[in-house]
Amino acid sequence: MASTDGGASAGDQDPRGEEAFERELERRLGTIESPEYRDPAREDLPLSEMVVFTILSAVVVVLVHLWGY
């Protein structure tokens, strides 16, 4: 089933799989470490956004507690 979707990974019942995996891993690490590599996911959530979220959560906790307990 896996092979029909290309789902077999490096290493699937393939004696050369581990070698292929290492080669692919090295290729990817090389790409990631390249100065030209850009990934929008690397941009951290701003601290201010996390603080606002924390404050809002605290407000919800207090209000819900006062209502429910």
5 binds another protein per the rule CB under 8 A:
yes
Rounded Cα distance between 68 and 41, Å, is 39
Between 36 and 65, how does the x/- string for binding to another protein read (CB under 8 A)? -xxxxxxxxx----x--xx--x--xx--xx
69 binds another protein per the rule CB under 8 A:
yes
Rounded Cα distance between 10 and 18, Å, is 7
Amino acid at 8: A
**Residue in 22, 27, 2 with CA at minimum distance from that of residue 11:** 22
Judged by CB under 8 A, the residue of 16, 24, 51, 55 near another protein is: 24
Site size toward another protein, by CB under 8 A: 43
